Amino acid sequence: MQLRVLNEKDRQAWDEFLITQDDSQILQSWEWGQFKSKLGWDHFVLVAEDEGSIKAGISVLVRKLPFLKKTLFYAPRGPLFTDVALVDKLIDGLCVEAVKYNAIALKIDPEIEEPNTGLIDILKKRGFIHKKKQVQPRTTYFLDISKSPDDLLAGFEEKTRYNIRLSEKKGVKVSEDSTERGVDIFHKMYIETSKRDVFLIHPKSYYLKLKQYLVDRGMGNIFIAYFRGIPIASLFAFRFGNRIWYMYGASTNEYRNLMPNHALHWHLIKWAKENGFKLYDLWGVPSSPSEKHPLYGVYRFKKGFNGQLKTWVGVYDLPFDKLTYALFDKGIQLYQNMRSLLTKGRIVDSLSE
């Protein structure tokens, strides 16, 4: 078994390896790394190979830390592997890369269901620290969309079925617009949504880059719901392997009573089926939902599609430079708490447990 950092010519081999895994993950794709490289990150992919065949790997984003000649490694939803024992070998290689990049720590949040004692035992043995602060959602709903549309609809909660039919009855129409115009329509509504629900969003340039590096390469779509020709809701969907992801959704303050978000998701589900996808990842709900949680409404909406609830092992950090890591970790936590206090009037984490 050999370790190797891939180069551009290995792009297809890496993505093909990801697609063959049960937990194929768009955030580990070569294209996602390229997209992030246009936003201030570096990017590399480390693999373990056996006779030229990839058996395990990890796509790592590298962030330069301000005022320091140091970096931070982050592998969203990585690593991926055919044998958990190979994780130990990948960690050896990552320690070598950490020296090259002067990295203070590695952060991972693999899409591995808890509990997974084999993986966790390896992480703890190698010095990883379990963190409560999440980067990606730890809990999500998966919907098997290989069933017929009638069976899918019958499996939804009664209120969800009612809202889907209501949107159709009221004349809500959904169409795809994966162009710059679509990005513009989406982002204007996203600004309105963020003000209403009090959360931070990226500037439009971020979503234009998503279009350039994912949508334009056949890895994403933008759908918009209209009422009498007026755009009233929109979503960004991503696709990779046999899976569709819902990550960003927006709606106007007006016409919410027409249930355009239900129309959007039902349209996306049917579209995904027609295009051969098997799994719909509704992307993130609270791990311990309560009516006081800031995402309780999101939880109730997604629960209505009656998917399978899955919870991953969560975030683990491997410090390479323990002193700098400890100072940075406390500093970033203070910054995030202050930002939340200033923008929301309270210290709250929408990804909290």
Identify any residues that bridge with 103 across adjacent strands, giving them in sequence order.
71
Q: How confident is the model at residue 331 (pLDDT cuts 50, 70, 90)?
A: low
Pick the range with the lowest mean pLDDT from 70-74, 271-275, 324-328: 324-328
Same domain for 126 and 64? yes
Mean pLDDT for the chain overall: 92
Is the residue at 115 inside a domain?
Answer: yes
- pLDDT the model gives residue 301: 96
Tell me the DSSP string of 15-84.
HHHHHHSTT--GGGSHHHHHHHHTTTEEEEEEEEEETTEEEEEEEEEEEEPTTSS-EEEEETT--EESST
Domain coverage including residue 93: 2-136+312-344
Is the confidence at residue 348, as pLDDT, over 90?
Answer: no
What percent of the chain is modeled with pLDDT above 90?
A: 82
Among 127-136, 150-159, 207-216, where is mean pLDDT lowest? Answer: 127-136
**Position with higher pLDDT, 332 vs 289:** 289
Q: Give the model confidence (pLDDT) of 234-251 as tens digits.
A: 999 999 999 999 999 999
Could you tell me if residue 352 is inside a domain?
no
Q: Examine the domain organization and report whether 157 and 285 are in the same domain.
A: yes
- Do 274 and 318 belong together in one domain? no
CB contact at 8 A, 236 and 267: no
pLDDT of residue 68 exceeding 70: yes
Query: Would you say residue 119 lies in a domain?
Result: yes
User: What burial letters (b/e) apply to 282-295, b meaning 16+ CB within 10 Å?
Assistant: bbbbbbeeeeebbb
The verdict on 112 and 168 lying in the same domain is no
Do both 223 and 321 map to the same domain?
no
CATH number at residue 27: 3.40.630.30
H or E element at residue 342: helix 322-344
pTM over 0.85: yes
By CB atoms closer than 10 A (0-12, 13-18, 19+), residue 345 is: exposed
Would you tell me the crossing angle of helices 11-20 and 30-37 to the nearest 10 degrees? Answer: 120
| Any domain includes 7 | yes
Q: Is residue 38, in this structure, part of any structural domain at all?
A: yes
Same-domain check for residues 164 and 195: yes
Q: Is residue 350 part of a domain?
A: no
Say yes or no: 191 and 119 in one domain.
no
Contacts for 9 with CB less than 8 Å, ≥ 6 apart: none
| Residues 175 and 69 placed together within one structural domain of the fold | no
Q: Which residues pair with 64 in a beta bridge?
A: 71
Query: Do residues 122 and 143 both lie within one domain?
Result: no
Q: Of 255, 264, 244, 252, give the one whose Cα is nearest residue 177.
A: 264
Whether 176 and 321 share a structural domain: no
In a domain, 351, yes or no: no
CB 23 within 8 A of CB 111: yes
Asked if residues 112 and 119 have their Cβ atoms less than 8 Å apart, the reply is yes
Shared-domain flag, residues 119 and 195 = no
pLDDT, one tens digit per residue, over 9-61 is 999 999 999 998 776 799 999 999 999 999 999 999 999 999 989 999 999 99
Q: Give the ranges where 198-321 is alpha helix by DSSP (H).
A: 204-213, 260-274, 296-303
> Is residue 91 domain-resident?
yes
Residue 340 has pLDDT above 50, yes or no: no
Task: Please count the CA atoms within 13 angstroms of the CA of 157 that sit on its side-chain side.
Answer: 12
Query: Does one domain contain both 104 and 203?
Result: no
- 48 and 21 in contact (C-beta within 8 Å)? no
pLDDT in tens, 277-316: 999 999 999 888 888 888 899 999 999 999 999 999 999 9
Give pLDDT, residue 343.
Answer: 42
Q: Is the peptide bond preceding residue 79 cis, with omega within 30 degrees of 0?
A: yes
- In the chain, the number of structural domains is 2
Res 351: pLDDT: 57
Q: What is the pLDDT of residue 154?
A: 97
